[in-house]
Each structure stands twice: as structure tokens, then as C-alpha cells.
Structure 1
Amino acid sequence: MTGTTDTDEALHVPCSGPSVWRGEDLADHREEWVLRLSPHQLVEIDSAVREARRRDLTLLKLTAADFPLPTLAPELERVAETLEHGRGFVLVKGIPVERLGAPAASAVFWGLGQYLGQPVPQNAYGHLLGHVRDTGRSLADPATRGYQTRAALPFHTDGADLLALLSLREPRTGGRTSLVSSAAVHNAVLDRRPDLAERLYRTYFFDRRQEHLPGEAPYAAAPLAVRRGGGALSMRYNRCYLESAQRFPQVPRLEPADVELFDLIDEVAGSPEFRLDIDLRAGDLLLLNTHTIMHARTEFEDHDRPGLRRHLLRLWLALPHHLAADGARQGVTPRDVIRPRNAASAAGTNPLPGRTQGDS
């Protein structure tokens, strides 16, 4: 691995500010990070759905202007501030997904997302609105990604600035989501193993899980951490992808100290002291900043009937000021920019209400 610059101050000054938190301190203070939609706000959402239908637009062409939220929009601005400059996550409760049905719930999810960022592709098919559900696939297959399985997913970050998850249906058992402050984990590494801290800023190689175009490298290179001038931290971590990238002979071999670092990150992130556990219920919308928050999921057991099985909608959102003029993302930490194999597949073709595109 090669070293990065601007690490000296970061290795001597712990991260500070609201993005540094511990789960044990937040577990009993849900009012600080939960937004419960009021009856008036729900009426406003229903009105926005009717307006979107009136305009007869395809779902993926729907903008914030087509989904007017006169009083909820300022609340979403405060949510955006919290995501980028505050704690890094918000749980919105009360979206009536059962009453709305899947098509209208998808429109609400998409419409709310328009107030927070710009959707970006989540896979090589160009899907902007993703579906998180068990497809029977296994992570042992290098073409499989975690959201397609029921397996436990250790703490990791996603390939966008913001992650949005809307729960439509819950599993029979399991599937608990956990969050952890990346800055708190970073500080714990500095405190417990200062000899490993420098490795956070080295360049590593992540498996792209076959989500790349012909001629592109099947792996991406990036540091685990970036911190300019001792300022805000941006973390990128996915041990599964770090280890599966070792199948490529061009990728440098992980050293024993790298494995020690990964073990420590996993240990700290998974400890009750640091992690915050959340059971996502139907109608819950989880929003998080992937630069400052890592998330995990426990294994789950699903219902036998297909219509009852666990199902979440997912958006990957780019912050507007992280986009270049040509639409390319300029995240604080380099992310995998997934370029669709067929750009037309990312365009919506169905009027509201109707089937939404996503992973099947």
C-alpha cells in the first residue's frame, strides 16, 4: 500500500464535533435523532403524491419542484444539515407505506430524496431506485452484493455521499440495523493502537464485484480515511470487498498489520459501547452520511409468503456540491462511480403510479 499526504495532524489530533458519538449515549435519547411525521406533514405528502400524478411524469424524472412540500421542505433542510455537519444520521418515522402501496411509497421516497441530494447509479444496470431484499444469492459469489442476500453484513460504508433506506416490510426475525460513528472508531484506533493509525490513511484496494465496464479495472483504489488539515473525517470501509480484492494478482497482498487494523475496526464498531442498534419498522426511513457513519445488518429469516418478505427501497444520493459540472461525483473520499453498462436503463419509463425500476 502507498502512503497518503496530510496525515500528520490527523494522527495526533482526535476527531471532534457532533459527528463523534457513542451508541450507548444515544440509545436512550431517541428524540435527538428521530423525526416523527405529524398528521399535517402526512397530509402534505399525500397532496404531493397527487400533484406528481397530475403532472403525469415518470418516477425517475420527478424533481422536488414536482413534489411540493411547503412546510416539510424546511424540516428536510434541517435534516440535510444534520446529515452533513451534525450527527450524520436521522430516522424518519411514520411514512404510511401500507396505506400508500408500493408504487406511491416509491414516489414518496423518491420525492423526499430530491430534497437531500442527487440520485446516482447503484449498480452496473444504472438503477437509481434500488430494492434491498433476499434473492437467494450468496456473498461467496464475487458478483453478489450484500443487499441481495439475507446474510449478516459487518460494518461498512456504501458508494455514495448519502444512503437512504425506506422499510416497506420487515423480516420474520433478525435484520437489525446498526450504526456507528466513523470518527469515534477512528479515535479509538488512535487511542488503542497508535502504531496502526497511520494505516488508516494508506491506499487499499476494493473489489468492484463485477460492477465495472469492459476495460476498467475490476477493483478500486482508495484510502480508508481522508482528513484534510485535521478537519472533518471521511471514512471508506468494507472488509468483504477489501479481502475479496485479493483474488486479483495485480492487487498488493494485505500485510498482517492490515488484518490487525481491520480486526480492531470491526471490534470497536461492533461493541455495545460504540454501536447504535435500530430495528427498522415498516414506514421507517433511515438517512445517513456514508462519510461519517458505518452501518451493519444482522442475518435475517424471512417469511415464507413472497408478499410478506423483507423489502427496503434504497437511494444513493450525491451531495450537490460534490458534483462536477459534468455530473461526476467529487466526494470527500473517492467512491466507486458505477457507470451503467446501458445508460438508458437508468431512465424512468413508467408513469405514476406504476412499477418502479430497481434491482430484481
Structure 2
Amino acid sequence: MVSPVPDDSPSVWTRGDFPDESVWSFELSATARQSLIDYGRGGPSADLSRRIGAQVARWAELLNGGPGFVRVRNFPADELTEQEIAHAYLGLGSLLGTPVGQDRDGNVVTHIRDERIPAGPTVRKYRTNLAQDFHSDGSDLVGLLCLHPAKAGGQSRIVSAHAVYNEMLRRDPHLLDVMYSPMPWSRNGEQGPGEQPYFELAPITDIGGIPRIFFIAWYIRDSQQHSSAPRLTDEQLAVLALVENIANDPLFHIEMEFQRGDVQWLNNTTVLHSREAYLDDDEPSLRRHLLRVWLTADTPLANELLRGGIPTPRAG
């Protein structure tokens, strides 16, 4: 039995619902910028919360009970050192949730850039300049701070996971049911000692009566490289393709350009995001560079297996 469709939820939207960016794009005020500068240079967290908490509360409303995304412009990247930027960015994120680890080393800030290493099954795509189809990350919320855009390409696209859900229900209710059953996911080299190289999880889990969607199609397809993983059925492969087909329809998604100092915040359970392939400058200092944080929200949004990020492996 498919769960009720959130037809009236603000998390259901298509491109036509946003004729301009004013609903989801915000400029940091001079006061907010100075607050982040002060905090990045060692100021107390209480001051940061007091000075910009009201602005952040508005973003949280849109992330948790609205369309599920915002873009915040004018982060003071030009005013801070690299270490101060990361500190201020974590401070800003901590007003929305608790930062969690994004890899086996427990890093809470990840550098998103092309490391110019050969692509492979254990190389996560954010370390390359390759396109990433629509997916979600392993946390309640995800933030991306742009330190430098690409020379060409690299556009961010976002789509309402619940609009995709509704369209799947309209086109093929049976395939939507398939999303509620466990599928194998490759750990892509992030497993701890003694762990299987894959795990099993249904891409849709109802939490509080709301479908929460976790989707990374290439992780599911990559599971087939492990002989011990269950084989994907024709229906499972078909539903992965259906999600990608709907999400990539220009009528459903919107594009979000990144400039230096832009921060994109997304609700991972109601929004899927993608990235176009990109071309970098030959000069290293001019290459595309983003900082990513994963956050656990005060109110659980994602499946409990996911919302804590990637745990650091215990010693075996």
C-alpha cells in the first residue's frame, strides 16, 4: 500500500511555481556578514545566534516546512582566511542543525573540487568534475558554500522529491511501491572493518506520515559490482530510470547558479539535487571549489540509518 501523497504540502513544487528567485534567495545583511566575520575570528557562538538567529529561523521554516531549499548570498568569504571561513560556515550551519561526519575520517567540512584523480567505484563523484545525476545526501540537511565557481558548467539543479513522487504515482503506482522495498547500496569503499561492502535500504521511508526519499541511483547500481549483494530486478532498475527521467524534465527542476559567497541549503528528504559536468581553469586558485556540511536537524527528517552521516569505523 502506497502512503498518502502529500498533494497539498509546500514541499510539492515544480519549476513554474517560482517565476523569480525572491522566494528562496536571501542576501546576508551587513550586520549578518559582520557577525560571521566576528565568529570566524573567534567570537562566541552566543553572539552569532543572538545577532542572526531570526534570519536563520526563516530559512529553517522554508527548509523544514516549505519547499525545502534556500540560497543565501554574500557570505564573507573574501574577509576571512581559509580556516576562518570553515569555522564561520560551521557556526552558521550549527544554527540549523548539528554537523555530522561525511566520510570514514569523520570530517564535518568537505572540500568539493576536482582532485584530478581517475574515476572509479571507490572514488566519490564530488572529487571529480563529472556530472552527478539527481540524488540526496546522507543527512537531514546539506549545505554548499561556493568559494569559487567553475570556468564553465557545474550548474546546480534541484527538484522536489515529492513532486517526483506524485508524478511516479500518476504514471506507474506499482513502480512507486517498489521504492518502499529494500534495495542494495554500495558503500563505495566507506565500509568499516568486517562490514559488508553494501547495505540494504528502501529509497522511501515514511516518517511521521510523510514519504522521506533517499536516492542515489549510482550507489544502487554500483552494488552489483559486489557478488554478495542481491541482484537488482528489472522493476528496480526501471524505477531508478523513472525517477531520473522525471527529475531531469525541465518542467520539474530549477537551476541555481553559484557565485562566490553563495550558500545553498537543502532538505535532503524533500529535495533531490544534481550537478552538471564542469570545466576548470588551468590556474589552481581559480578552480571550482565548494565547502559542504551535513546537518542533523532537531526534528528527524531522514531515515535513522542516514541522518547521522557516515560514522567513523570502530577499531576491529
TM-score scaled to structure 2, two decimals? Answer: 0.93
Aligned positions of 1:63-212 closer than 5 A: 64-65=45-46, 68-139=48-119, 141-212=120-191
User: Counterparts of 1:1-360 in structure 2 under 5 Å?
Assistant: 8-10=1-3, 13-26=5-18, 28-52=19-43, 64-65=45-46, 68-139=48-119, 141-228=120-207, 231-322=209-300, 331-332=302-303, 334-335=305-306, 337-341=309-313
Question: Contact 1:168–1:312 (CA<8 Å) still a contact in 2?
Answer: yes
User: Could you report, residue by residue, the CA deviation over 1:323-357 in whole angstroms, capped at 9, with x for unpaired residues?
Assistant: xxxxxxx94363285222479xxxxxxxxxxxxxx
For residues 171 and 161 of structure 2, the distance between their equivalents in structure 1, rounded to whole angstroms, comes to: 15
Residue by residue, what CA displacement relative to the aligned partner does 1:91-148 show, whole Å, maximum 9, x if unpaired?
0001131232422222221110110111111011111111000011344x12110110
Q: 1:221: how far off? A: 1.2
Post-superposition shift, 1:308? Answer: 1.1
Residues 296-339 of structure 1: per-residue CA shift (max 9 Å, x gap): 000000010111111101101111344xxxxxxx9436328522
Instruction: Give RMSD over aligned pairs.
Output: 2.0
Q: Which amino acid aligns with 1:251?
A: A
Contact 1:24 1:275 in 2 (8 A): no
Q: Distance in 2 between matches of 1:228 and 1:91?
A: 26
- SS of alignment partner, residue 103 of structure 2: coil
Question: Is contact 1:207-1:220 (8 Å) kept?
Answer: yes
Letter in 2 for 1:133: R
Query: How far apart are 1:196 and its partner, in Å?
Result: 1.2
Query: 1:342/1:104 Cα in 2 relative to 1: closer, same or farther (>3 Å)?
Result: farther
Whether the 8 Å CA contact 1:15–1:233 is kept in 2: the answer is no
Tell me the number of residue pairs that the alignment of Structure 1 and Structure 2 aligns: 314
Aligned with 1:264: secondary structure?
A: helix
Once the two structures are overlaid, the 10-residue window that deviates more, 208-217 or 101-110, is 101-110
Letter aligned with residue 21 of structure 1: W
Query: 1:197-235: CA deviations, max 9, x gaps?
Result: 211111111111110111112112111112257x32210
Quote the offset at 1:195 in angstroms. Answer: 2.6
Q: 1:123 to 1:50 in 2, by over 3 A?
A: closer
Task: Tell me: CA distance 1:274–1:138, structure 2 relative to 1, closer, same or farther (3 Å).
Answer: farther
Percent identity between matched residues is 32
Structure 1 contact 204–223 (Cα < 8 Å) conserved: yes
CA spacing shift, 1:95–1:157, aligned 2, 3 Å:
same
**Which residue matches 1:355?**
none
Separation in 2, partners of 1:45, 1:274 = 35
CA distance in 2, matches of 1:189, 1:333: 25
Q: For 2:314 and 2:196, how far apart are their aligned partners in 1?
A: 18
The 2-side partners of 1:124 and 1:50 are apart by 29
Residue 68 of structure 1: SS of its match in structure 2?
Answer: helix
TM-score, normalising length: structure 1: 0.82
CA offset digits 1:14-38 (Å, max 9, x no partner): 5431000112322x22110011111
